[in-house]
Structure 1
Amino acid sequence: MIEFDFNWSEPLNLLLLALTAAMLPLQLWLLFRQKSSVSGQRFRIRTGLNVLLWLAVIAFVVQPYVVGKAKTPVGFIAGKDLPRAVVDSLLDSLSESGNVVADDPEASMSDTLILAGQDFDPALFPKIMQSQQPPGLIRWIPYFQKDLPYDLQWKGLVRNGEMQVLHGRIESTQKHFIKLKYGSQTLDSVSLDAGSNHFRLQFPGFTLGRTVVELTLNEKVTDTLHYFSRSAAPMTVQFILDSPDFESRALANWLGKAGHSVIYTTTLSKDIKSKLTINKGKEPDVIITDAANAASPLVKKSLLNGKSILFLYLTNPLSEVSAINAALGTTFQVTKSSSGEFVAIQSGLTALPYRFVPSNRYFQVAGYPFAVQKTSGIVGVSLLNETFPLQLSGDSLAYQKIWNTLLAPIRPLSKSGIEVTAPVFQGLGSEVALNNFPEAVRMLGIGTDTIFPVSSALNPQSGNAIFKPAESGWIAFNDTLETELYVENQSVPAVHYHTALVRDFVRSYHVYREKLAENAPGPVAKTNGVNRKLPDWMWFGLILCCLLAVWIESK
């Protein structure tokens, strides 16, 4: 198929084409004026040479070329980490669909290139980009060892009290027990059966500054997670209760010791209320109450103003949850889960024998009978029984973990938020997202580098930028928050770095092809065929030969 490398939408190009086309009638008019002075045979030769010259010039303007089918539909390159048996299996399956050339990165006639595995020669990717005819499409088939976690992702920066979440995958040949540990303390754990598993572990941030957490598989450390925990702005929490009790008083005291402001309001008797303030603060960010106060004007007004409402101390969830839904417009649903008086959640902690029905309109906190729904504000409902006995028994860490977990999703949005998905690798791009800054951030220094965030069109206080660190280890943001980010180098488990490197190349190559297609004058760049073009020196030689022939004939 013949295509033209010519932009038909450009006015100057069309003018040039029109002038070139007008050259032929002008040449023929000049030739016919001289027809009487030359013989018939010589006139035909002269006319033919001039037409040939005109064809060469107009062809040079529109640049025709041939788009042919790739002789090799599929190219295949296997990484060094791929077992020979897996390579042979992949080649056999690919050979059934067409011609395949293996381990030839410079094969310029392949339509699609398949990369299998992660561990490739560092010179491979530049060779692909610099080849005469790069592949139209690159597909990646990752390979991971069985019984080892992979595709790990977590937050590189968290606020104190915010939920740190780890996502990962593992191909299990047997049952595994995965834990996140901070020293000897288990932060979260999950049991996985044999097969392909996606796991999610989470815990509330409880440290300040540089933090290192270990991921263990059957008590053996497989990976180390680095992240930086930033201080969180203290909240103002107001309790609205009909009567004081040990549970609410213990929670109020714990919040006060954590630096938060607490307004503890209870009704002692008719028209007599008690108000206790701990760490005087501003207007409430979070209101903690029971279902009887769901229709309270203060609760409704606070929710409309974007505040968070937390309902505790439920006794009859079916009717109380319905009352909350009717008063605040939420859609929580609960159902009976046990015939007993309570169900055990963990040692020393129980809950009502009910559970939340799964729904896309609200989400549930893993490990606890607690659901959260976003409306104009945030509404949380807990089915837990009393937690203060944990404090009385001396298990303050368990008590802290429970309430940090429950409060994390209903915390007010922090100002000057920075989000980075870890792990971040030296020399590879990672996205840095900025949220809720007082003013648009034009530039931000990270270590020895500077990034220039692009503000969101919908929210000028938010923006993002791609950060490609030139150094590794802990590097500091140049801000007043004393924030740091951990950058992994190539000495981490090789599979993690190689996976990130291949993923980054494949993503960049697809973006490169899309940009090439957008800037192309026609649909040529979007095809995956082989383009055969005349080089510039051949065009120069062709036009020069035609001019020389016309000149010699006239002599």
Structure 2
Amino acid sequence: MMNFNPSIPIGWLTVFSVLTILVLGFQLFWIYNLKISNYRKWAKSLLNIIFATCLLAYLFQPTWISRMASEPVLVYSKDIPQERIRFLKDSLVLKREVPIDEYNGTGNPVYLIGKGYSGFELNKLVGKKVNWIRSASPNKVEHIHWRGLLNQGEVQKIAGEIQVDKPSLLELKILEQRIAFDSLHAGTNIVEFNFPVYISGRNEWGLYLNDSLQDEIRFFVQATKPKSYSLQFSFPDPEVRALSQYLIKKGAKVEEQIKVSRSSEIASGTQELDSLTILISDIEQLQSGHGDVDIHAGIAGILLINTQNPESDVKALNELYETNFEITRSTSEEYRVLESGIEVLPYSFVPKTGQKTLFENSVAVQDQGDLKIGFSLLSQTFPKYLSGDTLAYEQIWNEILSLVTPGELENWNHSAPVFTNQVAEIVYNGINREAESILLSRDTVYFQHDLINPLTKRAQFISLESGWVSLADSMEVYVYGENELNSVRSERILAEFFREGAGHQIDLQSGEEKSGVSEWVFLILFLILLGALWVEPRINY
């Protein structure tokens, strides 16, 4: 049975098809009126018809469903349970199954189950029609990835997938302190942890499932210049004082101004701030200083906290900076308590395009040109600071401040994990356009400029060393060895194998196979036909 699977929208498919047919008709009419022999007319017409037919076939991408070959074989790794093998053998109506280490090359197509294969073992399947059948590993995090290089204050994102047979707890820890967690339900779970990072240098975190170490997450954080914060409020407040003390302990430059009346002001911690400063204030100070050029000179981010009347303050902030924040009352109580235990005013931000939210829509940040503007509905966080729960306090404010803090002029990144003997890529975004290479350990890696973004460069490399590998003297890349993150390594090996080969989709219920014409076949046909169209006029016959 023939079907079509075009890769372009039906509208464009129709336009290109009509144009191809019109051009072919013009070509045939032109050939018919040429003063040449009938043999040459037939040859030219036939070549043009075949070329147009191939072009239409490439546009429509014909596919067909056929019964499997007479000698299919199920190939599996030793970590696959026998029950799963028997189930697939019966479902696919197969007569043969063989472990990969005993496979001798007979049987086609090959149904490959699982992912515990080395590159050497997969080489046995070269030249075969290979159909991969995924088999999840229970209680193991799969498809896990994260950023391998970050700047201080940037948000790290760790994402993956895990299948568990009972409700479980997945935790991310550093030195036995829990940084993030996710409660898992029985079955397949998509997990994602997002948190800002502030520990410069090597970071080594543990991923635990029910207190059992699953994986070591390693990445490098590049130190940045201390941030500057200007705290300007209309009245003294323990929330402001606790935040000021916390920022100073972090090494930030802090200026605190409490304007108690028009003619009097309490100032503390005053020091010369950098050109880019984060302004943390209340709505009264923002309104009083909005017409003053000095208050916004060098300001890169604004965060409004300590709101007493959220509805009127949101409206006032929108008028001052042309933002479009919107809140709705979510409870009739005086406060609402988040899952993390934080007390919040009884309102929630309405999620909108162009805005980022935190803490169950209790904090919202919007980019307005080069300025980041944030609004917090958090009631009081200072009790956590005064009670000694500095880790929880730090996590709250790190997440908030990371959204209103501008990015660095230079940014390095690579997708982790990186494995020995596998291709990896480093991406640079920044203003340094002259650098054409970078030193990775003792090897020089050369950049290629991005075709879309002129400030982006990419460099591919393969590391033979495992462990921490130096990058440009000031940074490091962690390269996982042969016995680390085996599940993820196997996924990468399989992905590379299928990129270089030809995978097919199968229907486990019917045992039918969906096939199509390879892109390589179309390429070869086009090259042959274009060559024939070029050569034909130059041949005397």
Partner of 1:245: 237
1:93-242 superposed matches below 5 A: 93-94=91-92, 115-129=112-126, 131=127, 135=129, 140-242=132-234
Is the contact between residue 303 and residue 378 of structure 1 (CA under 8 Å) also seen in structure 2?
no
1:243-282 superposed matches below 5 A: 243-276=235-268, 278-282=270-274
Please give the TM-score of this superposition, normalised by the length of structure 2.
Answer: 0.72
Q: Percent identical across equivalent pairs?
A: 26
Kindly state the Cα deviation for residue 320 of structure 1 after the two structures are TM-superposed.
2.2
Per-residue CA deviation, residues 327-358 of structure 1 (Å, 9 max, x unaligned), is 32333332223322223347874221222234
1:71-86 superposed matches below 5 A: 78-80=75-77, 81-86=79-84
Kindly state the Cα deviation for residue 369 of structure 1 after the two structures are TM-superposed.
2.3
Partner of 2:311: 318
Matched, 1:466 2:460: yes
Alignment-mate amino acid for residue 84 of structure 2: V
Alignment-mate amino acid for residue 257 of structure 1: K
Cα distance in 1 for partners of 2:327, 2:207 equals: 34
Matched, 1:501 2:493: yes
Partner of 1:520: 524
Alignment-mate amino acid for residue 310 of structure 1: L
Kindly state the Cα deviation for residue 461 of structure 1 after the two structures are TM-superposed.
2.7
Per-residue CA deviation, residues 419-465 of structure 1 (Å, 9 max, x unaligned), is 11211111112221111243343111112333222223444332122
Compute the RMSD of aligned alpha carbons. Answer: 3.9
Cα distance in 2 for partners of 1:178, 1:401 equals: 18
Is the contact between residue 290 and residue 320 of structure 2 (CA under 8 Å) also seen in structure 1?
no
Partner of 2:395: 401
Is the contact between residue 429 and residue 504 of structure 1 (CA under 8 Å) also seen in structure 2?
no
Partner of 1:534: none
Q: In structure 1, which of residues 472, 475, 484 is the aligned counterpart of residue 469 of structure 2?
A: 475
Q: In structure 2, which of residues 438, 463, 472 is the aligned counterpart of residue 444 of structure 1?
A: 438
Per-residue CA deviation, residues 297-342 of structure 1 (Å, 9 max, x unaligned), is 3699999988222111122323322332343233333222332222
Per-residue CA deviation, residues 502-530 of structure 1 (Å, 9 max, x unaligned), is 1233234479x9984685351899xxxxx
Higher CA-based Rg:
1
- After TM superposition, the structure 1 stretch with the greater mean CA deviation from structure 2, 119-128 or 463-472, is 119-128
Please give the TM-score of this superposition, normalised by the length of structure 1.
Answer: 0.71
Partner of 2:5: none
Partner of 2:26: none
Cα distance in 2 for partners of 1:201, 1:307 equals: 27
1:353-372 superposed matches below 5 A: 353-366=346-359, 369-372=362-365
1:410-449 superposed matches below 5 A: 410-449=404-443
- After TM superposition, the structure 1 stretch with the greater mean CA deviation from structure 2, 74-83 or 248-257, is 74-83
Paired residue secondary structure (1:269): coil
Partner of 1:455: 449
Is the contact between residue 238 and residue 284 of structure 1 (CA under 8 Å) also seen in structure 2?
no
> Is the alpha carbon distance of 1:101 and 1:303 closer, same or farther for their aligned partners in structure 2, counting shifts above 3 Å?
farther
Per-residue CA deviation, residues 179-198 of structure 1 (Å, 9 max, x unaligned), is 11112211111212222211
Cα distance in 2 for partners of 1:326, 1:246 equals: 29
Partner of 1:31: none
Cα distance in 1 for partners of 2:475, 2:207 equals: 24
Cα distance in 2 for partners of 1:416, 1:334 equals: 36
Cα distance in 1 for partners of 2:320, 2:377 equals: 19
> Is the alpha carbon distance of 1:309 and 1:90 closer, same or farther for their aligned partners in structure 2, counting shifts above 3 Å?
farther
> Is the alpha carbon distance of 1:348 and 1:73 closer, same or farther for their aligned partners in structure 2, counting shifts above 3 Å?
closer
Is the contact between residue 77 and residue 105 of structure 1 (CA under 8 Å) also seen in structure 2?
no
Q: Give the number of equivalent residue pairs.
A: 453
Per-residue CA deviation, residues 69-115 of structure 1 (Å, 9 max, x unaligned), is 999857665330333333343454455xxx999777957975xx654
- Segments of 5+ residues of structure 2 without an aligned counterpart are 1-35, 40-50, 52-63, 504-516, 530-541
Kindly state the Cα deviation for residue 140 of structure 1 after the two structures are TM-superposed.
3.8
Is the contact between residue 256 and residue 269 of structure 2 (CA under 8 Å) also seen in structure 1?
yes
Alignment-mate amino acid for residue 120 of structure 1: Y
Is the contact between residue 349 and residue 361 of structure 2 (CA under 8 Å) also seen in structure 1?
no
Cα distance in 2 for partners of 1:519, 1:300 equals: 63
Paired residue secondary structure (2:239): helix
Is the contact between residue 299 and residue 309 of structure 1 (CA under 8 Å) also seen in structure 2?
no
Is the contact between residue 474 and residue 484 of structure 1 (CA under 8 Å) also seen in structure 2?
yes
Per-residue CA deviation, residues 213-257 of structure 1 (Å, 9 max, x unaligned), is 111111111111112222122222222322332322332232233
Cα distance in 2 for partners of 1:308, 1:502 equals: 45
Paired residue secondary structure (2:146): strand
Is the contact between residue 441 and residue 470 of structure 2 (CA under 8 Å) also seen in structure 1?
yes
Cα distance in 2 for partners of 1:523, 1:305 equals: 59
Per-residue CA deviation, residues 98-154 of structure 1 (Å, 9 max, x unaligned), is x999777957975xx65431022533443445x3xx65xx65433222233222212
- After TM superposition, the structure 1 stretch with the greater mean CA deviation from structure 2, 209-218 or 332-341, is 332-341
- After TM superposition, the structure 1 stretch with the greater mean CA deviation from structure 2, 261-270 or 297-306, is 297-306
Is the contact between residue 219 and residue 478 of structure 2 (CA under 8 Å) also seen in structure 1?
yes
> Is the alpha carbon distance of 1:194 and 1:359 closer, same or farther for their aligned partners in structure 2, counting shifts above 3 Å?
farther
Alignment-mate amino acid for residue 170 of structure 2: I
Alignment-mate amino acid for residue 500 of structure 1: R
Is the contact between residue 449 and residue 469 of structure 1 (CA under 8 Å) also seen in structure 2?
no
Kindly state the Cα deviation for residue 367 of structure 1 after the two structures are TM-superposed.
6.3
- Segments of 5+ residues of structure 1 without an aligned counterpart are 1-21, 26-61, 63-68, 526-555
Cα distance in 1 for partners of 2:331, 2:125 equals: 61
Cα distance in 1 for partners of 2:351, 2:293 equals: 25
Cα distance in 1 for partners of 2:449, 2:253 equals: 34
Cα distance in 2 for partners of 1:223, 1:193 equals: 20
Is the contact between residue 279 and residue 299 of structure 2 (CA under 8 Å) also seen in structure 1?
no
Paired residue secondary structure (1:495): helix
Is the contact between residue 176 and residue 192 of structure 1 (CA under 8 Å) also seen in structure 2?
yes
Kindly state the Cα deviation for residue 167 of structure 1 after the two structures are TM-superposed.
1.0
Is the contact between residue 236 and residue 285 of structure 1 (CA under 8 Å) also seen in structure 2?
yes
Paired residue secondary structure (2:378): coil
Cα distance in 1 for partners of 2:470, 2:361 equals: 36
Paired residue secondary structure (1:268): coil
